[in-house]
Structures are given as structure tokens and as C-alpha cells.
Structure 1
Amino acid sequence: MKIKILLITPIVLLFFISCSTKEEESQEPNIIYVLADDMGYGDVSVYNENSKIQTPNIDKLASEGLKFTDAHTSASVCSPTRYGILTGRYNWRSKLKSGVLTGKSKALISADRTTVASLLKQKNYNTAFIGKWHLGWDWAQKNPEVSGGEGWNPKDFDNIDFSKPVQNGPKELGFIYSYGHSGSLDMAPYVYVENGMPTKIPDTTSINKGKYSWWREGPTSSDFIHDEVTPNFFRKSFEYIKEISKEENPFFLYLALPSPHTPILPTEEWQGKSGLNPYGDFVMMVDSYMGQLEKVIKEAGIENNTIVIFTSDNGCSPAAYMDELEEKGHYPSYIYRGHKADIFEGGHRVPFIVKWPQEIKKEIVSDQTICTTDLMATLANIVGYSLSDNEGEDSYNIVPLFKQMKLDIPIREATVHHSINGSFAIRKGDWKLIMCPGSGGWSFPKPDNSEAIDSLPKYQLYNIKSDPSEATNLYPKNTEKAEELKTLLIKYITEGRSTPGVPQKNDWIDFAWKQIEFINQ
């Protein structure tokens, strides 16, 4: 009997060893990218020691992985940042030179451009988008000869045929499964679209004018309940993870939240929990759902080889009533100047956390500058995909930072920032050059405030290390450094890329020269 046991035991051990190491050694990682909407750097308590909003679940994510302290979105508003995330390319190389899209806008990303999803799909990934799209898709038209308005007026939607599928949306850009709405949660039409097809035809019109919970008037489907949209997207994601994790192939889930962007709609159980205002409550609600997401991942048995990334599409919006928050000691932009829409740090410096137990140690902090455009090159490296010259032109591979490799030079040569009105800034090392005299956005001094703007130097130069709040403009005293950065920015614009490689064309070639003319004024 003893001999039999000794003979069987090694076989059994080998079986269990092979099963336990199959996922770790042979399978590419699952990837979950969670993009919050308008959540400020200082709204996550692990980034703000004086935060009045507690985010224990996001904090825990950081403690179990890698926290970046100098992460930036490519723009300080929604649509352009999303473009950069999915394409690895700055938005201003596309047709979107300023502002954001609406819920009725046509597709911004052409079907022949490689996206993170189409790249991973080529590598046999299951790919899914759930949430806020805000990159345009082509609604079916009752009368194709009638273009209608841009989507800011209720009548702009009269020509949409909601009984037919949309074109040039997530499906055409590499997402095998998709479920979401077209624009921000305050932009009509308020209709869910699943795999290219509206789930219900709108049967009513809704509008809300609450202080925090306002949204524009427009067609609304019976299954689209504003208060339930964020919970609904999380629930859909939980269902997707539970089912897709049973499949042999790995998956990529892009979960683009509509929160805590307006309308600010914490569900009843979260109302009043922050002791600040509804925005604080909404952030806490998002954090709670992040905890539930982590639980689903663990219960599915895929935690060890799943990359979870949490970040935001830009800084906190003044629609959060930041003055109310600051009166109670909470600063959504932390120590940084400005907020959403601005070229200042508060517009585009965001929380960025990566957890990957199999590859990233716990409680790691990186102060290297990274950008949300870096997703494509990073994932390409992980799955063994070689980017062509016309793919991910502004995307850098940050995997060495996952592994804490000692580097002689920074990952990024420089990073370009962009504000809502199309103003540029370029950051290299400790230095940041802003190519406009004011905020380029919504904080003072605003671009349309000629009285304030006219009295300022045309450029701004800051040492972000010694002056993170951008209080002292060094441009008048250091024009040599400003000229160096301006020259690099012009090079990035004209060459159609900021990474090494063959020069590429921007979508509107004359844009480059117009921008250079503006810079050289």
C-alpha cells in the first residue's frame, strides 16, 4: 500500500503544478481599464493626505500595486483624452482640435486606425467596451439628406432612426462586445446601445435642471434611468467578467464610467455620506463599486494574472462646486493649479494606479511622467505586438516602470498637454512651457477675458518640481529654456509623432502650419 501511494503522489503533484502554472506561464494577462470621468487628483485619498473624501478601495488598489504620482491625460477634457487612450495618438492630430464631441457627433476614430482593442483582438483577446463612449458614432438617419444640428438642441435628434444600428462605433474599432451610451450623461440622446443596436427606441423626452443633477433636454428610452447608469455599467462589467473569465482566451475590458461627471447622482444609500456635497458622495460611491469589482475578479479566480488600471479622463470639474468643497477643506486638484478644461496641472494631472500581482510588487510608487496615450505601446509590449510607424505615434511603453527597472533616461522624452480651447503646453523633465497667457480653459485668467490676458506675457514657463502650483512664471527670465521647449513642440507637431520613428501626417495637414504660425506670433 505504501508503494502505491508513493507512485501516485508525484503524478498528482505534477497535475496540480501544471494546472496552477498554466495561467501564469502561458496565458497573456486579462486587462481591465477603468476610466473615471472628471475625478480630480486630490479626490483619491491615497493621493491627498488632507482629503475629506475617503476612497479606501482605490487606496487598497494602490497599496497592492503601482501608484504613479506624475500621470497625465493628453487633454483636459473628455473626448480628446478618450481618443488618445484608444489610439495612442494625441487628439490634436485628428479632426478634434478643441472642445468635445456631443451625443450626436459622427465617429472621430476612422475604422482603419489601429486601436488598443483592435490590436488585442489580433492577439486573440476577447475585447469589450462598457460605459461612456464620447468618441462619436454614426446614428442611422431617417432621411440621409438631412444632416440636422450638432446635438445641443432637442430638435437635432428628430432625424435619428433609433430602430436601426449605429455605424463606426466600438464594434468597428475592435470591440467584440459593447454596451454604452454615446456622450456624457448630460448629453442626449439618452439611449443604451448594445453591440451597435439601440436597446430601446426613445419614447419620451427628459430634462433636469437640478443644481448638481442637471442634464440637457433630449430623447430618452424607458430603460435609461440617469440615477442608475453608473450602477448599471458596473453590474454589466461584473456579469461580463464572470462569464468571459471561463473562456480560454484572455480579455480586455474598457470600463469608461460616466461618473463623477455631471449629472452628479449618488444613489440614495450614498447621499450625504461624504459630509461635503453630492459630488463627494458620488466619488465615494464610485470607490465602493471599485471594491466590488475587485471582489468579482478574485471570485473569478483570475486576480493573479489580471492587470487592473484605474485613472481619470481629466481633472475635477467646477460643476462639482469646488468652492463648496474647498470651504470644507477638500481640494480636488490637491496642491495643483486649475481644474478640468485648463492647461494648468489641475486640468490633466490625474490618479493612475496599476495592479498586476503576477508582475508588479505591492506598494510601489513611481514619480516618472507618464501619459494616458501610453496604454497602446505598453500593452503591445506585454502581448508581443510590434507597432508600425502609423500606430501609437505618441505612446511610450511603461512596462519597465512596472518592473522597477533602473533607467538612464526617462521613459518619455516630453509630454504635450492640450486644453479645451486648443492651447498647448509641453513638459520635459521639471520644465513646463505653456503656449498661452492664461488658463486656456475655465479658470482665471480665461481666454475670453481680454482685460486680464492682455496684461500677461504671451507664454508661461514653470519649474514643476520647485513650483508645482505654477505660481511664478519664469518665461521673462528664461527665454532660452522656453525656446528649447518650443522647438521640440514644433518638431512633434510637424513630424506627426512624438515617439521615435518615421514621420507621419496629421489628419489635417494644414493644421500643423497654422499652429506653428500661432506659436510664433
Structure 2
Amino acid sequence: MVSIHSLSYFVLLFVVFSCESPKKVTGDKHPNIVYILADDMGIGDVQAFNPDSKIPTPYLDQLASEGMRFTDAHTSSAVCTPTRYSILTGRYNWRSTLKNGVLWSDSAPLIETERSTVPAVLRTKGYHTAFIGKWHLGWDWGHDADGNIDFTMPVTHNPNDLGFDYAYGHVASLDIPPYVYVENGQVTAMPIDSTQSEDRYGWWRKGITAPDFIHEDVTPNFFRKSIAYVEERSKEEKPFFLYLALPSPHAPILPSPEWQGKSGLTPYGDFVMMLDDYVGQLMAAIKEAGIEENTLVVFVSDNGVAPAAKIDELIAKGHYPSGIYRGHKADIYEGGHRVPFIAKWPKVIKAGSASAQTICTTDLMATCAEIVGYQLEDDEGEDSYNLLPLFSGEKLGRPYREATVHHSDKGAFAIRQGKWKLAMTAGSGGWSFPTPEDVEKIDTLPPLQLFDLSNDPREENNLQAKYPEKVSELKALLTRYIQDGRSTPGAPQDNDGEKIWEQLWWMRL
């Protein structure tokens, strides 16, 4: 049994807004925007979201106390690549050609250069835009006559071609070679050796490695680069957008020596503490640069905690990285995609506020467009909703989103509307029990799962047989979202690739 006081979590189900008048977006100067994306961090890892967390996160807690905490925030997918696609495009990931899983190191780019992105939109309004971190959306390496990557050749179809003025990072996760940095389309140092780690926590696959690519220093390096970028750009009149996509606390789990053993749990706990401290350093840099008041900072994870964190060992020590929620990374259950989401913008957001509205990581596009006065076309941000009314504390009197679609590693769908969640799969659709393979063996589970999250946040009671009308209603809404190519008002759009693919089994009947 999860040792979390139920009262603490039921409080999170209500919107907490000030009784004061909502703050308004005023003035001519657009805000700087800093978007920090953690990798494989669970909602239960941050004490601001889980008071019973055993991992101290003082700087993330401070960020929450100075901004707004979203207690019902979701990534569009329960794994890495798809979530990153949706953040930058405002479009559900399954509308792309990638219908399940993630990209690899030499995969073709997922975002077409013709598709509108958040940085491209912001550049039209005078922003300087930067990407620092883990890309994991594919780019085009140069290849020699034998088909091997030629690291002397320019990298094309890279973040610079998708709206970023400056780009520095690596191609995928820190356990996927090649291990090189690419800066503005050029490899920063020629790989001359191969490295591999078989450490239980800090393992990575064998692969060619550049001399300036030190696995243990990648996360610190990205923060150093980000702090330097903030210090430099704060001196300019032009506003900036920084997309800091961290490779941590995803495996390899590599806390620096000064953090090892600090959590009293496992290396994963130490790694989360290290990340938290670096977030504090970045926030301090923003404050010291004198731009805190009109800088929007968003912190979110790309999906739930991963099994590589050794979840059972954490639980044995009293720490529940998914909080009260079922499942973890890759799953259609809440633990796969319900994530910590914090927004701070002193000029607009009331400190210490919270929202229980359901939001999604697709919402960055429409939010940024509204902030800068950009009118989205019908083929831009098809699944993106503007967060500004929530930031400013408006009393909406209605749900913020009509509904939200979730997606698992194996490509299974779920749709959430209000308290109801309908999963179009018999199991997790991911890596926790029952996996798709388990479902085939059991062969007695209903093909659908309907949960009332207001009374059953742990998703223990499947109500699909009791409420067939609700099942039909949600299934019809999900089908419409898929067929229309969008979930927001506007002209219908086309999805990429097949029109009806394997995971849309109910549309084949």
C-alpha cells in the first residue's frame, strides 16, 4: 500500500486560484521563455507534488512556490521521442509517421522542415531561439560510401532547420551511440575511441565517443551552456526562447561524486537531487541577470519514471516515484504520462498557485502564439490549447480542454474527459503488467478499460461493462479527433502515414 496521506492528494484535485483579480499580460516587451524538459522523472519524485517523496527537491519546490503547480499535467506520449515532437509542434505525436516507439541514432528526422514549430513561430516575432540538450527527433548525418556516419560532414535537417538560431546537443539518449556533441550542424570533436559502461545504474551501450563527450559531465555541461546563454542574451533587447532538453534522470544514472549517496536511497535519488540543484543554479542566473520578472520558466518531464531507476528498490525504501498512480514510463496508465509541471512568470502568474485543469505538453505552441500575438494557421498546433487563461488565474467556468489523448510506447490510445478515462487496450500498452504480451497469454481481459479517476486515481476498477454509454461517447470523440487530424477548432487536417493503422483496431471493425 502506498504510504501517502490521501488528503494531500485530494487537495491537488482542486484548482487553487487567488481571490484577487487575475494578473493580465501587459506591456510591449515579450517575455523570455525557458522550457526545461527533464527525462524520465516521475511525478512522485518532486516533493511539491508528493509530500511523501523521500528525495529532497528544494529548488523545484521553490520554483513551484514562486509559480503555478499543475497537478493534472500530461505528456502526449509515455516515451521520449513522441513527447518531444508534440512539445515543439503542438500536434499529437501519433499524427506523425511514428506510430509507436522511439527513434534511434541514425533514424530519419521526424519533424519536416516545412512544419511549423514553437521556435519558428517565436522567431517571426523577434525572438532569439536556442536548443541545448538531448534532441531525439532524428537528424541527417553525412555518410561515407559504405553507409557509415562520416563525422566530418555537416549534419543537416537539424534543429537549426526547425527554427533554432543556436543548437547544441546530442542525437538521442545517453545510452544510444554515437556519443558526440553537434553544434549548429557540426560535430564539435571527432570521435576517436569507443566507450561502454556495464554499471548497474550507469550503463550505456558500446559506441564511438568523442574526446569532449564525457558521459558523467553531459548534464552539468548542458546547464553550464544554458546559464551562459541566459547571461549573454539577457544583455540584449531581443527576447529569447531556450529549450533545455535534459538527458537526465534517464539512464545512464550518473550523479556527480559530490551527489553520490546524498539521497540516502539509490543513485537515482542522488541524480534527481543533482538535477534539482542545477535547476536552482539556472534560476539564480535568471534572477542575477535582472530578467526574472518577465521570464516564463516551465519545468516538466517527458514521461513518467523508467524501470531503469530500479523502482522496486525505491519503493522498498519508502519512495514511490509515480506517487499514487499506477504504472511508469511507456504505459497508458497515469504513471506513464502524468508528470510534474511547474510554470513561473512573476509578471503574470501568482506565486504559490495551483491548477487542477487537465493540460498537455502539446499546449506550448498555442500558449507561445498567444503571448506574442501570432495567429496560428489551420495546419499549426492542431492539438494545442492556450495556457494563458490558467496562468493569469481566470475563472473559466468550464474545462480548459474538451478532452486529452494519451499514447503508450506500443501505440495504445486513451482519451481523458473530466473524471473519465477510456483506454483502448486491455493492459498497460507498455512495459508494466499486464503488457501486450501478458494480455495475449491471459486472453480473458476486456479489450477496453474505463476508469473514474476522481474516485479511482490508481486505476484499479475497470468500469467499461457498467457504463457502456460513456465508453461509446468517449470512443466516438477519440475517433473524431483522429479522423479530423486535430482536436482543436479549425479545418480538418491529414495525419501522416497510414490513415488507419494497427493500434486503431476499433476503427477497422
TM-score (norm 1): 0.92
Partner residue in 1 for 2:435 = 446
SS at match of 1:33: strand
Contact 1:104 1:189 in 2 (8 A): no
Partner residue in 1 for 2:283 = 294
Displacement of 1:97 in angstroms is 0.4
Displacement of 1:105 in angstroms is 1.3
Partner residue in 1 for 2:391 = 402
Alignment of 1:43-82 (within 5 A): 43-82=45-84
CA offsets, 1:103-127, max 9 Å, x none?
2212100000000010001111000
CA offsets, 1:288-307, max 9 Å, x none?
00110111001111000000
1:511 aligns with 2:499: yes
SS at match of 1:233: helix
Alignment of 1:220-235 (within 5 A): 220-235=209-224
Equivalent of residue 384 in structure 1, options 373, 376, 387: 373
SS at match of 2:82: helix
Q: Which has the higher helix share?
A: 1
1:200 aligns with 2:202: no
Contact 2:426 2:439 in 1 (8 A): no
1:139 aligns with 2:128: no
Equivalent of residue 162 in structure 2, options 173, 181, 191: 173
Alignment of 1:84-483 (within 5 A): 84-143=86-145, 159-450=148-439, 452-483=441-472
Alpha-carbon distance in 1 for matches of 2:250, 2:506 = 32
Partner residue in 2 for 1:32 = 34
Contact 1:185 1:258 in 2 (8 A): yes
Alpha-carbon distance in 2 for matches of 1:414, 1:520 = 23
SS at match of 1:512: coil
Displacement of 1:261 in angstroms is 0.1
Contact 2:413 2:503 in 1 (8 A): no
- Structure-2 change in CA distance of 1:27 and 1:388 (3 Å): same
- Structure-2 change in CA distance of 1:342 and 1:516 (3 Å): closer
Alpha-carbon distance in 2 for matches of 1:375, 1:162 = 34
SS at match of 1:67: strand
Structure 1, unmatched stretches of 5+, are: 1-22, 148-158
Displacement of 1:199 in angstroms is 0.2
Contact 1:438 1:453 in 2 (8 A): no
Alpha-carbon distance in 1 for matches of 2:482, 2:106 = 29
SS at match of 1:178: strand
Alpha-carbon distance in 1 for matches of 2:440, 2:29 = 60
One-letter amino acid of the counterpart of residue 399, structure 1: L
Alpha-carbon distance in 2 for matches of 1:424, 1:493 = 11
One-letter amino acid of the counterpart of residue 126, structure 1: H
- Structure-2 change in CA distance of 1:38 and 1:281 (3 Å): same
Alpha-carbon distance in 2 for matches of 1:473, 1:104 = 41
Structure 2, unmatched stretches of 5+, are: 1-24
TM-score (norm 2): 0.94
One-letter amino acid of the counterpart of residue 287, structure 2: K
Alpha-carbon distance in 2 for matches of 1:432, 1:181 = 36
CA offsets, 1:73-118, max 9 Å, x none?
0000000000000000011100110000112212100000000010
Count of residues in correspondence between the two structures: 485
One-letter amino acid of the counterpart of residue 59, structure 2: N
Partner residue in 2 for 1:83 = 85
Alignment of 1:489-508 (within 5 A): 489-508=478-497
Contact 2:439 2:445 in 1 (8 A): no
SS at match of 1:304: coil
Contact 1:377 1:396 in 2 (8 A): yes
SS at match of 1:457: coil
CA offsets, 1:365-399, max 9 Å, x none?
10000000000000100000000000000000111
Alpha-carbon distance in 1 for matches of 2:302, 2:228 = 24
SS at match of 2:356: strand
Displacement of 1:165 in angstroms is 1.2
Displacement of 1:512 in angstroms is 3.1
Question: What fraction of aligned residue pairs are identical, expressed as a percent?
Answer: 63
Alpha-carbon distance in 2 for matches of 1:482, 1:24 = 44
Instruction: Please say which structure displays the higher CA radius of gyration.
Output: 1
Following TM superposition, the consecutive aligned residue runs of length 4 or more in structure 1 with deviations greater than 6 angstroms are none
SS at match of 2:500: helix
Alpha-carbon distance in 2 for matches of 1:398, 1:445 = 35
SS at match of 1:350: coil
Alpha-carbon distance in 1 for matches of 2:440, 2:167 = 48
Contact 1:437 1:453 in 2 (8 A): no
